[in-house]
Chains A and B, each alone.
Chain A
């Protein structure tokens, strides 16, 4: 358990990076996790080349969702909208560096989902990991 809530996660939860609202932004998106009520709102400012120059987020969530988005926002500067849309889920999982159970996957992915929504200007097509059962796993319980 202390592995899940290791120092890096707690540090980002208690003092998230890029937390707050940008005064000026080009892209923004807000979404929530309907199962737990976590909400995040992302703001992105682009430079003249269409690359991320500033990013911030606000909202309320658990340690996993807050830390995941905090870690993610550290990595977004310089990326184009297309590059944001192409970010795989593993990108966030590697940043977190911990095992995420199926039920917590929704928490871990909320920030990425909102960043992609901001890039698209509408909800990103999203397959909900946490809701998908694994038949092999089900058979083994």
Chain B
């Protein structure tokens, strides 16, 4: 193929048009239009999702997979349709997509089902210093139960995973590597495909926390080669209470169920219970039907916008935010410099002011950010801070909102007489 001039992918609609699809962005907080920069916690929802949920609850609600009546058949078709949408988005087979409550539950499913079956005393699991607690605690729990060991892959001075150190840990022959795709604190985008190759060469499986990557990156399971991959809908502009676990089919087939109950069985007798086929084997009990359908709507909305354009726009805004935040005196900014491997998550600490106080003052300016340890206490210890303030960007954020963040930070310095 002839080399072509690279043009950055763009969005099909203007930022104003995209913003108009999010009713909540018209809201005022403390007399200012809300500048919502807490998207790493949860994203706001577009009308495409809100209206899908509304229609479902008004017109389509029924339980799935059982009723032989029109409403149930429609609800089942919508629910399974949402699974097809998510599967297609992930480049996966529908049997490889398990609906769960959130990324945390997805990772717990792997720990409890795969982990308890396959880990023994003395086995090793590699986690990283930049993991969210959701990709640490389940592994700690199963390691405690089985007598397995956790090894911590370090980050380098710029907040990237130290791949040489990871390679050293892989020489110890771990059975599993657990890594986040995008750090919820540093914004680092980890080279998952490369890590997968390294893990597989060492005979380990790879489980990826994709909670922050879901709204930012095109995800192709074949290209990434992860064995398990967790996403959550609410960070992808969808509802809370629903997420998905991708698992390679051969692995899921061999794994025992996680939650026992209705829907996940093939046959129950007094003597013997057998399991349903994938994906039902892992979906005991009535699922979050409306939420799953809303998840499907969110994924369709994202796919229609196009994730390459979403990512390019975010990298551009993140670069602007990193540049402007450098103008504020007394700030330490964490994470890699601006670039394609840096998502729109900007964490910082201000000398002499606690993150909570920064967040409170920014809120008075109508700027919503997150303050705290971000469920990444090991990373906070590594960075040597008790907490950070985090501004996390979404596709509807603007340079003007970044400017308001900067103005708010200047005001923090005024209030604290710095």
Contact = CB atoms under 8 A, between A and B. Distances in A.
Interface stretch (B120-128, B213-221, B262-270, B356-364): B356-364
Interface residues of A, number: 19
Contact of A62 (B355, B377, B380): B355
Interface in A23-41: 35-39
Contact of A37 (B360, B361, B377): B377
Given A1-B415, A10-B416, A36 B371 contact: yes
B327 interface: no
A35 B355 CA distance: 12
Interface in B344-380: 352-357, 360-361, 364, 371-373, 377, 380
Contacts of A104: 356, 360
Contact of B387 (A14, A37, A63, A64): A37
Interface string B368-396: 00011100010010000011000000000
Contacts of B386: 37-39, 60-61
A33 to B, nearest CB: 9
Nearest to B30: A1
A2 interface: yes
Given A2-B415, A10-B416, A37 B380 contact: yes
B416 A62 contact: no
A34 B175 CA distance: 31
A64 B355 CA distance: 12
A48 to B, nearest CB: 38
A115 interface: no
A60 B357 CA distance: 13
A76 interface: no
Interface string A53-65: 0000000111110
B197 to A, nearest CB: 36
Given A36-B387, A37-B377, A39-B386, A61 B354 contact: yes
29 contacts: A1-B415, A2-B415, A5-B415, A5-B416, A10-B415, A10-B417, A14-B352, A36-B355, A36-B356, A36-B372, A36-B387, A37-B372, A37-B373, A37-B380, A37-B386, A38-B354, A38-B356, A38-B386, A60-B354, A60-B386, A62-B354, A62-B356, A63-B353, A63-B356, A63-B357, A63-B416, A64-B356, A66-B354, A104-B360
